[in-house]
Amino acid sequence: MDSGTRSTTVRRRGRGTPPVTGGGRHGRRTALRLAGTAIVAAVALGLTPAVANASPSNPSDSEIAAARTRADAVANRITQLSTALAAAQQRVDHATAASAIALDEYQSTEAAYEQADARSKAAAAAASAATAQLDVARTDVIAFARRSYMQGSTWPEAAALITSDGPAQLIERAALLEAAGSHTSNVLDVVRVAQVKAARSDAVARSTLAQADTLKSQASDALAVAKNAEVTARAQATALSAQKATLHTQLVAAQKQLSVLVGARAAAQRIEAMTAPPAPAPAPAPPVDDRPPAGPGSASVAQRAIDAALAYVGSPYAWGGGGAYGPGRGLPPDSGVIGFDCSGLTQYAYARAGIRIPRNSRAQFASLPRVSSDDLRAGDLVFWATDPADPGTIHHVALYLGNGRVVQAPESGDVVKVSDMWWSGFAGAVRPSA
């Protein structure tokens, strides 16, 4: 996680506010009583001596203005604290998404390396076989030349071949003799074909080996980048926990101050207006794609995939862990955790349903039939990105269950779980069973 913002709950970290407590339990029925309470609070909060010494029963305009100014200052402080919490959470979310994208890049490069390595080994085996065939053909030429000479030189030029210093000179002489029209032999044709085949096979083997070595180096570099990004994201998350505790304490204190200054009900209304989360975004349409839309797919296959994923609810998230064959050991810093990352879980689910899909989330999105957001069905894979219009920024995938629910492997420190669907950052969906 492939990771990042994983659910509605995670998206709203830092936005919730505790219940407001304090004065105003019986209401504020008159402006005079409200002003009096504000002045009492002003004394406790260190306002000017003039305000502190004023008569609560007959506040002046300046005293009322001072109390309002103090209330506005506390309200502004609440806004600042809420903004700070949201900004800190956003930084962590961005770092986590960057880590997931880097992990996805490594998994993609590692998959390419494994394919290149398999091709390299196959090419090396083919080159070895071609070389063996060439050796046999060369032996046949020498034997043919020897027989010709010993049987009365049925081929007058046999001596030229027999006296060759080695196989290379033998082939060269035979080619020259044939070019001069001296003799034609099927044996030489076999040698020439074998030689060409061996040369080509060797060239392919060398090329594929070079490609595999390059991809192996790139995969190693990508893994180092991904590890660094994940370590950075976790450090920021740890720092955020301490920061949130401090900011939350300050936020609660500011809310209580505001409640004393303007009354519980008015304070609650002001706090709600300042800290209410934005309305959920509607499901966006995925980016334009030239692939044909997915068909209805197989409901039974989708259900098998869902059942496979749900069987691991509660299992640990392992960064880089798991895949088609089940949970697996994560990559450092999760080398001691056995479980799934987000795309490992979805690959496993569909492997159990009999469909092989790529290991990393971007490849899953790129290679499978696309589904519009208004046609989501149980079993579809849903994706999120830092830029929904750019599939290259996809950092998370989950398995849609229907009825606005998904099963997912969210992020390090969490477990495979069922969550509400969310639309912020939604990049699109695919249907593996189509």
CB 67 within 8 A of CB 35: yes
Residue 177: predicted pLDDT: 55
The label of the residue with tokens 């506010």 reads 17
What local confidence, expressed as pLDDT, does residue 29 receive?
37
Find the angle CA(329)-CA(317)-CA(82) to the nearest 5 degrees. 145
Quick one: pLDDT at residue 294? Answer: 84
308 in Cβ contact with 353 (< 8 Å) = yes
Contact 287, 379 (CB under 8 A): no
Q: Which residues contact 323 (CB under 8 A, 6 or more apart)?
A: 344, 347, 348, 351, 359
CB 230 within 8 A of CB 101: no
Please list the alpha-helical segments (H only) found in 151-185. 158-162, 167-179
Cβ atoms 404, 382 nearer than 8 A: no
pLDDT tens per residue across all 434 residues of the chain: 544 444 433 333 333 333 333 443 333 333 333 333 333 333 333 333 333 344 455 667 787 788 788 888 888 888 888 888 888 888 889 999 999 999 999 999 999 999 999 999 999 999 999 889 888 877 877 776 676 666 555 455 555 555 666 666 666 666 655 554 444 456 667 777 888 888 899 899 999 999 999 999 999 999 999 999 999 998 888 888 877 778 778 878 888 887 887 788 887 887 777 766 666 555 555 555 666 778 899 999 999 999 999 999 999 999 999 999 999 999 999 999 999 999 999 999 999 999 999 999 999 999 999 999 889 999 999 999 999 999 999 999 999 999 999 999 999 999 999 999 999 999 999 999 99
The Cα–Cα gap between 199 and 100 comes to 44
The pLDDT assigned to 107 comes to: 93
Nearby residues of 218 by Cβ (< 8 Å), 6 or more positions away: 109, 113
Confidence at residue 286, expressed as pLDDT on a 0 to 100 scale: 53
Q: Nearest to residue 86, comparing CAs of 259, 243, 273?
A: 243
- pLDDT at residue number 139: 83
SS3 of residue 407 by DSSP: strand
Per-residue pLDDT at 27: 38
Whether the Cβ atoms of residue 116 and residue 173 lie closer than 8 Å to each other: no
Q: Identify the pLDDT of residue 280.
A: 59
Helix, strand and coil percent figures for the chain, each rounded to 5 = 60, 10, 30
pLDDT score recorded for residue 315: 98
